[in-house]
A and B are shown apart, each in its own frame.
Chain A
Amino acid sequence: MKTQRSPSGIIAFTRTLQEKLILDMKVFFFTMQEFFWFSIRAFVAIPKAKQYWRDVLDQAKICGADSLPIVLVSAVSIGALLAIEVGNLLEDFGAKTMLGRSTALSVIRELGPLLMGLMLSARFGSRNGAELGAMQISEQIDALRAFGTDPIAKLVTPRLLAALIMFLPLTAFSDFAGLQSAAYMAEHYHRLDPGIFWNAVYPRLVAKDFVVGFLKAPVFAIIITLVSSFNGFSARGGTSGVGRSTIKGIVVSSGLVLIANFYVSKIVLENM
């Protein structure tokens, strides 16, 4: 049986909904403002990074060397799948010799950097969120401030620099692994001569293709590091709060990586 609302009930309900929306909007804009200043402070602290070069190296190892296996696994898997699927499609048009070019463009421009970004968002971003969140709830971040150390310069800027340095070579490794696995599948699954595959890759690639792909690395580095660190710093409410802030960091940074991936491609392809 349907419940009927009286007009005054509907007005009260609408008012409550309106108040909730206004409050949510206020919280959203306040958070954006906080995030903006947090990001500015992380960049402004870059000159202090030489004091924290050990932290930069540690973070470079975590987001670079330690993340390499997962980046390679995802690149190999997507390169191989792409070669199989695109090869099947091209075969229908009798254009299998174009397989090298189409997979190279997809991997170098889009999938190599995108998968690397998503993998690092999950691996490096979650680590940042959980570690900084745990430090926040155990008052270690307050302790840094209380004893005169800027927690953003000490904890966030080294992560940001390490990501900016390491995401570029990781993109290159991701592209390389993706292309190699695509070439392998082209030869062994589609019985395409490797010479034909690579001949369609090298001469056809232009600077724009690399600019699109490699410009994404620093953009993703900034997004992933700042979003995950900000969420770690904002953790409240004990261990479950750390869990919530970590998840939020991964979800938001992954979403932003996908959006940024689209816009970087669009802007570069339209302007180069």
Chain B
Amino acid sequence: MIELRQVGLKYGEREILKNVSLCIKDNTIKAILGPSGVGKSTILKLMLGLIKPNKGQVIVDGTDITNMNETSLYAIRRKMGMVFQGNALFDSMTISQNLGFFLRENMRLPEEEISRRVAEQIQFAGLEGYEEQLPENLSGGMRRRVAIGRAMIFKPHMILFDEPTAGLDPVSSKKILSLISSLRKNNNLGAVIVTHIIDDVFNVADSVAVLYQGEIIFDDVTEKLHEANHPFIRSILSDNILEL
């Protein structure tokens, strides 16, 4: 379970997050919805301890990681996988090297076990035959699936997705969303999805938090989003995609 308690964050004079509180339970899919540049990706980085809040607490599985040092954070981070918006694949490595990289780096596993896990993720992502390709030779959707496979390589209990369908064509988006749904069904994984596309929320999320001007203005099950009265939520429900 990941919890943000009264988190505030400033960049210089600019207040990015104001008293943000969120709770993401295991084996659930939570979407964080909001316009571009509002601090959604920042929330994911706070959850991983990649940045530290100016105030409030970040709790992962009961452990307060707010002021934890980098070395202690590594163990916490392995409980979560992260799919970055631009995928953040290593462009000089092949797909199988990308998938196996962190296993070789951080776990003392025999090479057969690493190969087995890599093959498992290749199969899960539907990328058989592309193992020796460089990321630049794959389509955007395929690269995203490699990034999802890499996020699952440590067998985490939670995966954090930063704009998982942004920049993808409708067919690739659908594939990615069904992949995310299958993670919970088949692997009992929870997920946090940061998005500005409202369709993604209704397609996969159990609950949704809406971030607007640095504050959470709605946090409930997805179905109740239609009942919200906030003018911003009413406007996004009518426009479908947030480009504010």
Contact = CB atoms under 8 A, between A and B. Distances in A.
A138 B89 CA distance: 9
A139 B106 contact: no
A187 interface: no
Interface residues of A, number: 12
Interface of B: 45, 48, 50, 70-71, 74-75, 77-78, 80-82, 84-86, 88-91, 102, 105-106, 150, 154
A139 B77 contact: no
B86 A138 contact: yes
B151 to A, nearest CB: 9
Interface in A126-148: 138-140, 142-143, 145-148
Nearest to B51: A142
Contacts of A146: 48, 50, 77, 80, 82, 84
A147 B81 CA distance: 7
Interface string A32-72: 00000000000000000000000000000000000000000
By Cβ-Cβ distance, the 4 closest A-B pairs, closest first, are A143-B88, A148-B74, A139-B88, A147-B102
A142 B86 contact: no
Given A142-B45, A142-B50, A147 B84 contact: no
Q: Which DSSP category, helix, strand, loop or mixed, fits chain B's interface?
A: mixed
A239 interface: no
Contacts of B106: 147-149
Contacts, number: 52
Contacts of A142: 45, 50, 84, 88
A145 B89 CA distance: 13
Nearest to A154: B105
B154 A147 contact: yes
30 contacts: A138-B86, A138-B88, A138-B91, A139-B85, A139-B86, A139-B88, A140-B89, A140-B90, A142-B45, A142-B50, A142-B84, A143-B82, A143-B84, A143-B88, A145-B48, A145-B77, A146-B77, A146-B80, A146-B82, A147-B77, A147-B102, A147-B105, A147-B106, A147-B150, A148-B75, A148-B77, A148-B102, A149-B74, A150-B70, A154-B105
Contacts of B105: 147-149, 154
A148 B72 CA distance: 10
A51 B78 CA distance: 20
Contacts of A154: 105
A148 B48 CA distance: 10
Given A143-B84, A147-B82, 11 more contacts: A138-B91, A142-B84, A143-B88, A145-B77, A146-B50, A146-B80, A146-B84, A147-B154, A148-B77, A149-B102, A149-B106
